[in-house]
Amino acid sequence: MSTIENIESATVGEIAASDIRKADVFRKMGIDFCCGGRKTLKEAAGQAGITEAQLREALEKTPPVGASHPQHDFSSWDLAFLADYICNVHHRYIRENAAVLENLSLKVANRHGAQHPELIHLATGIRGFLHHLLSHINKEENILFPLIRQLASKKYNGDEYMDISAPVRVMEQEHQEAGDELKQFRQLTHDYVLPADACNSYTYLFGKMKEFEDDLFQHIHLENNILFPKALQL
């Protein structure tokens, strides 16, 4: 991902295309960077009802790309804490971004589906994928994670036998299915390579899908490789 050399004169569209996190700032502020991308920061700030300085400050505060996964020693964490972390970081990320991705993929498919029919399959696929994923994290939060917290707590005296292997297997199976769906999206889009005529929304969609995939892989790694095996040992 390139950076904008001269942010003073760059348009909203150029800034959004150069950095997905800055595109996220525009989206949250209701600033259109797709069709209305050819405006300056000053014009965009005026339309959003804030000052240019406030908009610049929000853009400067975005963390650098790749900074979302600081290197924590997750294996040494208390299991209940790890379960909380997964809910607060990764489940929250999915809930915050699911509707954004679904709407964005529909918008791009409507606009460019005639020239790029794979976008229509992508939008349909993303819809089903997100639906399954939201139901998956609800099951973890309502069924499996409370059992893991109970097992990990000192209050659990082990009198009653608690076997979590069945729900763990179901969750692992669903992780596999989510991974397979992400693989299909990569096949459809040739690894998210943008065509020459891609507009800002198209660029944002592919950037967002790569970010989403990255977050989900880290999320599944924490569950499959740390949380579930350690909980099964309890």
Shortest Cβ 37–Fe ion spacing (Å): 35
Shortest Cβ 193–Fe ion spacing (Å): 29
Per CB under 5 A, residues contacting Fe ion are 140, 223
Q: Which is nearer to Fe ion, 126 or 171 (CB)?
A: 171
- Rounded CA-CA distance 47/85 in Å is 37
Shortest Cβ 226–Fe ion spacing (Å): 12
Q: Which is nearer to Fe ion, 140 or 211 (CB)?
A: 140
Residue pair 19/207 in contact (Cβ under 8 Å)? The answer is no
Q: Which is nearer to Fe ion, 16 or 94 (CB)?
A: 94
Q: Label residue 104 exposed, middle or buried (CB < 10 Å: 0-12, 13-18, 19+).
A: buried
- Rounded CA-CA distance 137/66 in Å is 24
Shortest Cβ 134–Fe ion spacing (Å): 11
Decide: helix, strand or coil at residue 117: coil
Buried b (16+ CB within 10 A) or exposed e, 176-198: eebeebbeebeebbeebeeeeeb
Q: Which is nearer to Fe ion, 46 or 167 (CB)?
A: 167
